[in-house]
Amino acid sequence: MSLQAGYAMCDITPAIGCPMDGYGARDHGSTGLEDRLQARVLVLESDGGAVCFVCTDLLGVDEETADQVRQRGSEGTELSVEQIMVCASHTHFGPCYRRRAYLPPSLADLVSEEYRLNMVNAIAGAIEEAWGALQPARVGWNTTRAHGLTFNRRPVDDEGNTQMRLVLEAPAAVAASRAGAELADAWPKGGYGGPRLSAPIPEMENLHAGVTDNEAPLLRVDTAEGEPLAALVTFACHAVVGRGDGYDISADYPGQARWAFEHIVGGRMLFAAGCAGDQVPTWRREDSRERVGRALGAQAAKAWYEVPELVDALPIGTISRTVEIPVPEGYVTAEQARQMLREAGDEDSAEARQARSLLEKAEEVGGRTSIPRPIWAARVGDVGFVGLPGEVLVEIGLQIKQRSPFPITHVCSLTNAYVGYLCTDRAIREGGYEPGRGTIMFNLNGPGTEAALVETGLAMLRELHGGGENNC
């Protein structure tokens, strides 16, 4: 038996009163704690190949913080930096640990660098702990569908324009979820794309629903004695279910998914966000965290028990690349953003927040036409993994899965960096929240992003697989 596995976790819960990330309209810090936030680590090693998955209860992990975690995790183990990935669940109920430009000054002053550094050290320590806990293990894989939990928030009208629906009443949300899943089912493995929009849906004012990815691929890890050790599950849905006034710290539905899985199976579950840039929960508020999360966790548990085979030796490999992502043409200059800031007046106003954010991004662009971004990929047996650095629209992930040489592929967003929305060219043309001017404070990624991510991710998977494009 050559395969070894180790698991560890650490607590990354911030202090009550911290500024929260995810919603720019918040005007004060957190006021309560619903559940604690964690970083969970799974290390696999086989015949010299190794991979380390780090899954955190955060909105995102910026590139500097991810690099620090990976570097320190490497220094304390025999893992290379490339073998370590750090991703986020995208919970909108965690800490804002960076001084984000959109924050009002009163909240920006509460951002704690001490918290960030302590978090880096804690996660690096968990990587070392997982490495030190390596033991003989067996691995298997499976995939399942978690029906009815998520829908595409970018429906399109008859004129081809996006009409954003961040929240829908239950009948419309269920109809959109069902229609989106049917579209995804028509994307054939080995093909090139598939249907994007449904027929008009009466419950949605006759808008056309977009595609939904309800796949939940699972990597199963047992001890050599057959006891459950850990599972990694990827699912594409914004962690925005929420409860109450939104000021309590919470892992949101991924925390409930872990709870359900662990009560059924017994092993620990790691959660990675799939390509959820345009995917939101069907159910919101009240008891919906349990409804969405526990349904997902129970479905993942079912997939765990249905894994067809466990192996104790398998190929493991990782690759890191840098890809140039185009900047939107005519992106605001730093001087233009400074002028907007001067004209905004009140520093707490929405106009001032946007101007500060635009200035921050314009200074990052610095007149360039593209920005280098990290992409990460791995192989564990017959399973492929691609880690993309922002909030990825679902069709990008579907294209990678469709053309991947592996029978099962996890496409993880918010991996090793947090660079805003990563949109398809068609979504940019159709408009809406993710690529639009209204959110340009977050989005530096223009036309050509889709091709850069899809083709680079596929090339990395093919290299790991060691064969042609669709030879799974």
Q: What is the pLDDT of residues 147-198, one digit of tens each?
A: 999 999 999 999 999 999 999 999 999 999 999 999 999 999 999 999 999 9
The per-residue pLDDT for 63 is: 97
| pLDDT over 70 at 12, yes or no | yes
Distance of CA 35 to the CA centre of its chain: 20
SS3 436: coil
**Burial classification of residue 159, based on how many CB atoms lie within 10 Å of its CB (0-12 exposed, 13-18 middle, 19 or more buried):** exposed
445 close to 390: Cβ distance less than 8 angstroms: yes
What per-residue confidence (pLDDT) applies to 470? Answer: 39
Q: Above 50 in pLDDT, residue 465?
A: yes
pLDDT of residue 102: 82
Distances (CA, A) of 154 to 214, 400, 406, 462: 16, 20, 29, 31
pLDDT of 455 over the 60 cut? yes
Average pLDDT rounded to a whole number, residues 412-431:
95
370-407, pLDDT tens digit by residue? 999 999 999 999 999 999 999 999 999 999 999 999 99
SS3 36: coil
pLDDT band at residue 442, thresholds of 50, 70 and 90? low
**Is residue 471 packed enough to be buried (19+ CB in 10 Å), middle (13-18) or exposed (0-12)?**
exposed
- Looking at residue 233, what is its pLDDT? 98
Residue 67 dihedral angles phi and psi, to the nearest 5° = -60, -40
Q: Taking the CA of residue 330 as centre, how many other CA atoms within 13 Å lie in the half-sphere pointing to its CB? A: 1
Cα–Cα separations (whole angstroms), residue 133 to 126, 127, 418, 439: 10, 10, 30, 44
- Residue 18's contacts (CB-CB under 8 Å, 6 or more residues apart) are 29, 30, 95, 96, 110, 112, 115, 249
Mean per-residue pLDDT, 268-293: 97
Q: What would the pLDDT profile of 297-310 be if each residue is shown by its tens digit?
A: 999 999 999 999 99
pLDDT of residue 1: 55
Q: Tell which wins on pLDDT, 472 or 39.
A: 39
Confidence of residue 345 (pLDDT cuts 50, 70, 90): confident
Average pLDDT, the chain: 94
Inter-residue contact 211 to 127 (CB < 8 Å): no
Say what the pLDDT of residue 331 is. 85
The tokens describing 266, both together, are 């017994």
* Mean pLDDT across 45-60: 97
Answer yes or no: is pLDDT of 472 > 50: no
pLDDT band for position 104 (cuts 50, 70, 90): confident
Give residue 471's pLDDT: 36
| Predicted confidence (pLDDT) at residue 437 exceeds the cutoff of 80 | no
Distance CA 82, CA 125 (A): 18
Asked whether 393 and 280 are in contact (CB, 8 A), the reply is: no
In this structure, the strands spanning 150-152 and 38-46 are unpaired
